[in-house]
């Protein structure tokens, strides 16, 4: 059995309305990553880092990687294009892009339902293809041996959780909304499949003076 540790990237450019505008860390996002790097170093470290190719993922990986361990990028760990799906939802159903946490919480399951039902069209990555590449990437990390940390995004983490626990889309959407920036998740992979062993840990943000640094968006 091999354990794989997944980390969500640090806080990105909140308030963005496109993938290109969103894809950079905020000042707080960089600090979150540095704090996590210090925590991981103090608790045993890791042998290598794997991240997606998105800027927010690669930058988080670099900041976490205080001891300059080998870092490999894998596009299969990239997030799905939430902003494009949101535009499709608005064009089809007139549902506007969310402007606050409450409307975002309602928006996520609507976007996932559109995508899962095939409403994104043939030129957009399908829900099934996304799920398949995410699972393959996790299996390849495990196949390379223990000691890796993987820096990715909410959709990837929520998808692996849903696969491990057999969750329906509605519950997956709720889980999507609970994944904090730079939170730590662990999965065990063996001959029986994928097993969730830790969800949403933030030991580097649990200090009393860092509670305000716990962010979802």
Q: Which pLDDT tens digits describe the chain residue by residue (217 residues)?
A: 899 999 999 999 887 788 888 999 999 999 999 999 999 999 999 999 999 999 999 999 999 999 999 999 999 999 999 999 999 999 999 999 988 888 888 899 999 999 999 988 888 999 999 999 999 999 999 999 999 999 999 999 999 999 999 988 778 888 888 999 999 999 999 888 999 999 999 999 999 999 899 998 8
- Which pLDDT score, from 0 to 100, does residue 122 have? 87
pLDDT at 94: 94
49 located within any domain: yes
Instruction: Look at residue 192 and tell me if it is in a domain.
Output: yes
What pLDDT was estimated at residue 1? 85
**CA–CA dist 217, 212 (Å, integer):** 13
Assigned domain for 140 exists: yes
Q: Rounded to 5 degrees, what are φ and ψ at 187?
A: -125, 145
- Domain assignment present for residue 23? The answer is yes
Question: CA-to-CA distance for 91 and 121, rounded, in angstroms?
Answer: 13
pLDDT score recorded for residue 14: 81
Does residue 1 sit within a domain? Answer: no
Report yes or no: 72 and 94 within 8 Å, Cβ to Cβ. no
Q: How many CB atoms lie within 10 A of CB 57?
A: 29
Domain limits for position 115: 8-208
> Which run of H or of E encompasses 154?
helix 154-165
Mean pLDDT taken over the chain: 93
CATH of the domain at 58: 3.40.50.1240
Whether 214 is covered by a domain: the verdict is no
Record the pTM: 0.94
User: In this predicted structure, what is the pLDDT of residue 206?
Assistant: 94
Answer yes or no: is 91 within a domain: yes
Question: How much is the pLDDT for 170?
Answer: 78
The number of distinct structural domains making up the chain is: 1
Q: Rounded to 10 degrees, what is the CA torsion of 41, 134, 97, 16? A: 40
The terminus-to-terminus CA distance of the chain in angstroms comes to 33
- Which is it for strands 184-190 and 148-152: parallel, antiparallel or unpaired? unpaired
> ∠ at Cα 15 (90, 198), nearest 5°?
95
2 within some domain: no
């Amino acid at each position: 059995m091999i354990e794989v540790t997944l980390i969500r990237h640090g806080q990105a450019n909140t308030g963005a309305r496109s993938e290109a505008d969103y894809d950079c860390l905020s000042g707080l996002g960089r600090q979150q990553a540095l704090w996590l790097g210090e925590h991981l170093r103090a608790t045993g470290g890791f042998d290598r880092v794997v991240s997606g190719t998105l800027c927010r993922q690669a930058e988080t990986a670099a900041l976490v990687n205080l001891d300059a361990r080998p870092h490999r990028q894998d596009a299969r760990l990239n997030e799905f294009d939430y902003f494009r799906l949101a535009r499709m939802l608005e064009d089809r159903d007139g549902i506007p892009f969310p402007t606050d946490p409450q409307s975002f919480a309602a928006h996520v399951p609507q976007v996932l339902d559109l995508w899962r039902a095939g409403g994104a069209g043939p030129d957009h990555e399908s829900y099934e293809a996304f799920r398949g590449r995410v699972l393959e990437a996790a299996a390849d990390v495990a196949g390379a041996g223990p000691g890796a940390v993987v820096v990715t995004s909410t959709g990837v983490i929520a998808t692996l959780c849903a696969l491990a626990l057999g969750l329906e889309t509605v519950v997956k959407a709720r889980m999507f909304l609970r994944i904090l920036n730079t939170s730590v998740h662990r999965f065990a992979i063996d001959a029986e499949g994928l097993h969730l062993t830790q969800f949403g840990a933030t030991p580097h943000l649990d200090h009393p003076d860092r509670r305000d640094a716990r962010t979802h968006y």
